[in-house]
Amino acid sequence: MTDDFEPFGRPLFEDPSARALSRVGVVDVGSNSVRMVVFDGAARSPAYFYNEKVMAGLGKGLAQTGRLNPEGRVRALTALRRFAALAEGMGIAPLTVVATAAVREAEDGPEFQALVERETGLRLFVIDGQEEARLTSQGVLLGWPDASGIVCDIGGNSMELARIGKGKVGDRISTPLGPFRLQQVEGGAEQRAKVIERILRKARSVVKPEGERLYLVGGSWRVIARLDMERRGYPLTVLHEYRMEPDSVLETVDWIRRNDAAALRSRTGTSAERMELVPLAGEVLSAMVRMFKLREIDVSSYGIREGLLYEQMPQRLRERDPLIEAARQMEATQSRMPGFGKKLFTFLTPLFKEADAERTRLIKAACLLHDTTWRSHPDYRAEVCFENATRANLGGLDHPGRVFLGLSLLHRYKNSRAGSRFEPLFRLLNEEQLRQAEVLGKAMRFGAMFALGDPNEAAALKWQPKKKLLELTLQPRGEALFAEVAQARFKSLANALGATTTIKMA
């Protein structure tokens, strides 16, 4: 971890116990795009307060000319001028700006740095390939604390690979396998394949893949993943933690090659500038799949910008669960009774004693989020809950986990899911997972009836799974709360468990 807080110039996490992040803006000046992101929210799981990208093409033609693309320079400078003005208006100036392959490799890179600072007041921190690989990998770790395998970040002019595991970044290498570089290879696909294989063999000797996971970072990879979803008819179009099998990747890359690029663009909303590079990126990905003998290919929406935040996080903060931290922040800012989620979790714990660690964290997250959509119209709260859980920027949450969380929150407000427009997404869960999500939702629906204070002071639940017996013990202050609606919700919970019930007075 750096001691001088560069390139931010200030500590972002002065108090290791702090839960919230003060708003901070980061700009990534890449070979293809220039993107500004403003982070806010939970310190361990930052949300995107603002996110804007310009496909400047700064590094287009660099391999041939040795200089930045003239049109790309103009577009990038215009974007940076706008971003500086936005930061000033948001009260977050100065922005932290990091430049990668194009600016570091171009002979006029230093001149462009000086121009940007003179015209916009922004200072570009140019990092080398090794540092780019390290920071990108740390971005993956921010959203995926247990990530283990190989990170692959593709830009316009370079592609970085790094080994990660146990929260650390290991050996890494920067390669000239960006699509802009491959455009300059003469001899067509056959010659490109030879170049790609030669470079990947060298990279393989450094990161030493062992038939494990490959974590993809970068716009071209995300387009390929989105097209994989399209080809497969996958129901949840959230790219973060989307997982692909090697054979599926190979089929999709071939499918992209055989189909009209314009038609694929219209189906996925991909820009023409990005789509131009996708087939070349696909050639690299196919070669990696075959050469590295991968077990799984996963997509990360987190990269170098998030890695810059992770760089400053003290170990105590890194060790927090990003999902729970994000849910806690949402409860603190959006619920009617912040702090009740933890009490609700304790109240419901007797129902889920057999839950493993992964299921327990989903239950805890659901309890924290159970009241965060109360401002929505009552007729749509169930849908809003599901949408928030499945579409929100939540780290540490795979796609089945998103649907489980969303479905449990849907049942927090609605007994039945039959006829829901979300039904296609339910197929990401098996029957037992669907049942458990329903039980959790109906348990939260019942527990919310004791929301005035601590439900544990009003009642206690006891679940005997072998006897299929659900027992409720009411404290004196809980008797008045256990009225008609509460009784109906208790019965609904018992039905979801397939249980008989008994009610006692303390």
DSSP H or E run through 256: helix 246-258
Q: What are the helix (H) ranges across 259-398?
A: 261-268, 272-292, 304-312, 315-318, 322-334, 340-348, 357-369, 381-391
Bridge partner residues of 169 (DSSP): 164
The answer to whether residues 324 and 365 touch, using CB atoms and an 8 Å cutoff, is yes
- Has domain 321-453 been given CATH number 1.10.3210.10? yes
Bridge partner residues of 124 (DSSP): 97
What is the residue type of 384? V
Superfamily of domain 130-302: Exopolyphosphatase. Domain 2 (3.30.420.150)
Model-wide pTM > 0.75: yes
Helix, coil or strand: residue 42: strand
Q: What stretch(es) of the chain map to CATH 3.30.420.40?
A: 17-126
Position 314 scores a pLDDT of 87
Position 312 scores a pLDDT of 85
Q: What are the helix (H) ranges across 414-457?
A: 423-426, 431-447
The answer to whether residues 215 and 313 touch, using CB atoms and an 8 Å cutoff, is no
Q: What stretch(es) of the chain map to CATH 3.30.420.150?
A: 130-302
Fold of 17-126: Nucleotidyltransferase; domain 5 (3.30.420)
Position 14 scores a pLDDT of 67
**Per-residue pLDDT of the chain in tens (506 residues, 90 and over written 9):** 444 556 766 666 766 666 788 889 999 999 999 999 999 988 899 989 999 999 999 999 998 999 999 999 999 999 999 999 999 999 998 899 999 999 999 999 999 999 999 999 999 999 999 999 999 999 999 999 999 999 999 999 999 999 999 999 999 999 999 999 999 999 999 999 999 999 999 999 999 999 899 999 999 999 999 999 999 999 999 999 999 999 999 999 999 999 999 999 988 889 888 999 999 999 999 999 999 999 999 999 999 999 998 988 888 889 999 999 999 999 999 999 999 999 999 999 999 999 999 999 999 999 999 999 999 999 899 999 999 999 888 888 999 999 999 999 999 999 999 989 999 999 999 999 999 999 999 999 999 999 878 999 999 999 999 999 999 999 998 999 999 999 999 999 999 999 999 999 98
Q: What stretch(es) of the chain map to CATH 1.10.3210.10?
A: 321-453
